[in-house]
Amino acid sequence: MVERIRQIMEHKGLTSTQLADSIEVPRAIVSHILSGRNKPSLDVILKIVSTYRDVDRNWLLLGEGSMLMSLASAVKEKEPQPPVAERASAVQEEAPMPAPSVEKVQEAPSVEKKPAAPERSIEQVMIFYSDKSFTTYRPSS
């Protein structure tokens, strides 16, 4: 992977200092990676692929394919995905659901209804004030 990072630097015309500054990591980290002292962390790899979006992730991580993404895969990656609900409805349109089977449903046993509670009415409303006084309101009958 270190060699692939060197290839990115060469392709972009970057020094190790410029690479470190562009991906916003301390310069010592890039220096240690290039010298072989440390392996690149996941954070460094993520910063490289997010800063240099034309670099193919599979190539950087696995050495597969070419360094730069093809135009078709770059466009595909930038296309917004429709919301999940739209994708689900599209799938439903493509493959209709089979008709549900009809099953005999057993009815629940009847439950006796309780008599309704007697109707309640307001007798009075009291408002208490901070000076310890109060007012009582009674509805007119």
- The domain of 25 spans 2-73
pTM over 0.75: no
In a domain, 91, yes or no: no
In a domain, 113, yes or no: no
Cα–Cα distance between 39 and 60 in angstroms, integer? 13
Please name the amino acid found at residue 49.
V
Q: Region 1-15: what's the mean pLDDT?
A: 90
In a domain, 26, yes or no: yes
In a domain, 104, yes or no: no
Contacts of 14 (CB under 8 A, 6+ apart): 8, 22
> For residue range 100-121, what is the model confidence (pLDDT) as tens digits?
556 665 666 666 666 666 788 8
Cα–Cα distance between 57 and 1 in angstroms, integer? 11
Bridge partners (DSSP) listed for residue 26: none
Cα–Cα distance between 4 and 10 in angstroms, integer? 10
> For residue range 9-49, what is the model confidence (pLDDT) as tens digits?
999 899 989 999 999 999 999 999 999 999 999 999 899 98
* pLDDT band with cut points at 50, 70 and 90 for residue 80: low
In this prediction, what percent of the chain has a pLDDT beyond 90? 21
Cα–Cα distance between 74 and 56 in angstroms, integer? 9
Mean residue pLDDT across the chain:
78
pLDDT at residue 86 in the model: 55
- The secondary element (H helix, E strand) that includes residue 137 is strand 134-137
pLDDT at residue 18 in the model: 92
Cα–Cα distance between 77 and 97 in angstroms, integer? 31
Please name the amino acid found at residue 117.
A
How many domains would you assign to the chain?
Answer: 1
Cα–Cα distance between 104 and 102 in angstroms, integer? 7
Do residues 67 and 56 lie in contact, with contact meaning Cβ atoms separated by under 8 Å?
A: yes
CATH code, 57 = 1.10.260.40
